[in-house]
Amino acid sequence: MTPDLDYLIRIAKIAGDILMDGYLQKHEIYHKGRIDLVTEMDKRSESFLLGEITRDFPDHSIITEESGFLSGNEDHRWFIDPLDGTSNYAHGVPLFSVTIAYAYQGALTLAVTLDPTRSHCFSAEREQGAYLNERPIHISKTEELVDAMLVTGFPYDMENPNGNNLDNFSSFMSHAQSIRRLGSAAIDLAYVAAGWFDGYWEMGIHAWDIAAGSLLVKEAGGMVTDLQGNADFFKSPYALIAANPVIHAKILEVLQANQHGYD
Ligand code: IPD
């Protein structure tokens, strides 16, 4: 049995309600690393999503941020971040999401990124376009970096000078119109799909952060590759560029001048 987009939207919205119930409350905060946080609400949202998916699709495999890998049929694979933007959430900043993707036989097929603070539900189905709530969305038409608003993120391991993204950030500051760092890669990619941001790049990211967002961008007419421009970006070490093809080429050029892969 395979899920449909309505199923992903329904469970993402309930998980979003769970996050909103706990929003601005006092949290139990645990550290996965020096600056990598997890709250009891990441776990509560994840436990709801896993409960639904394992009950309705018991043979499927799942990759999820807090519980890791749940083995099963590899033809049916789910990617879940029950709370993307945990640091924002823990500080009370209203920029976080639930992001869920489903891949059939290795191809990302269904995607939902839900921002419960704004009731923004971004969704996409392979070859069926991308939507914000009921409205179709499209990648931006910007062609010059000097007109482009870009977005990026930073890995939790900032000690690695080849992978901490600081030099790339600094280069784009002198090429782009502006750069934002929102703190939820899933929302970053959804906003690229909506044409609100003109491009995104990031390294040291995880499959669950970018699975839904990469399908959203492609279905909105965008191009997604790794930092070398290869189309098979969905593999470790996860790193990507997402934009319309013209801005994509310009982002790639700046990154290649800095000659950084993530290692
Ligand atoms: C993080 C966010 C952030 C990105 C980090 C991610 P989390 O996910 O998506 O924007 O820069 O690399 O790990 O920890 O909030 O689920």
- Structure tokens of 156? 């939790």
What pLDDT, on the 0 to 100 scale, is given for residue 163? Answer: 82
How far does residue 82's CA lie from ligand 1's centre (Å)? 12
Closest CA to 48 of 90, 19, 15: 15
* Proportion of the chain in helix, strand, coil states, percent, rounded to 5: 35, 30, 40
What is the pLDDT, as a whole number, of residue 84?
A: 97
Distance of CA 178 to the CA centre of its chain: 20
Q: Write down the pTM of the prediction.
A: 0.96
pLDDT for position 32: 78
Strand order in 178-180's β-sheet? Answer: 178-180, 149-152, 199-203, 239-243, 223-225
CA 198 to chain centre: 16
- Cα distance between the two ends of the chain: 39
> By the 8 A CB rule, do 261 and 164 touch?
no
CA 10 centroid distance within chain: 19
Task: Name the residue of 34, 46, 98, 209 to mutate for ligand 1: max ligand atoms within 8 A of Cβ.
Answer: 209
Q: Which atom of ligand 1 is nearest to the CA of 153?
A: 11
DSSP letters, 35-99, are S-EEEHHHHHHHHHHHHHHHHHSTTEEEEETTTEEE--EEEEEEEEEEEE-HHHHHHT-S--EEE
Task: Determine whether the shortest distance from the Cβ of 99 to ligand 1 is under 6 A.
Answer: no
> Where does 5-136 sit in CATH, by number?
3.30.540.10
Which residue puts its alpha carbon closest to atom 16 of ligand 1?
A: 84
- The pLDDT value recorded for residue 260 is 53
Helical ranges in the chain per DSSP H:
5-22, 40-56, 86-91, 166-173, 185-193, 207-219, 245-258
Q: Token digits for 18?
A: 């769970």
To the question of whether residue 81 is assigned a binding role by annotation, the answer is: yes
pLDDT lower than 70: segments of the chain = 260-263
Give me the phi and psi of 203, to 5 degrees please: -130, 160
Report the separation in Å between the CA atom of 2 and the middle of ligand 1, taken as the mean of its atom positions. 28
Closest ligand 1 atom, residue 182 Cα? 10
Pocket-testing residue among 205, 208, 238, ligand 1, by greatest number of atoms within 8 A of Cβ: 205
**For atom 13 of ligand 1, which residue has the closest CA?**
205
- Compute, in degrees rounded to 10, the torsion defined by CA atoms 125, 126, 127, 131: 30
Q: Is the CB of 97 under 6 A from ligand 1?
A: no
Question: Hey, where are the domains in the chain?
Answer: 5-136, 145-258
Q: What is the pLDDT of residue 224?
A: 98
Tell me, which fold does domain 145-258 have in CATH? D-Maltodextrin-Binding Protein; domain 2 (3.40.190)
Is 65 annotated in a binding site? The answer is yes
Q: pLDDT tens-digit profile of 166-224? A: 999 999 999 999 999 999 999 999 999 999 999 999 999 999 999 999 999 999 999 99
* CB-based burial, 172-197: b 16+ in 10 Å, e otherwise: beebbeebeebbbbbbbbbbbbbbeb
Residue 209 CB–ligand 1 contact under 6 Å: yes
Q: 1 C-alpha to center of ligand 1: Å?
A: 31
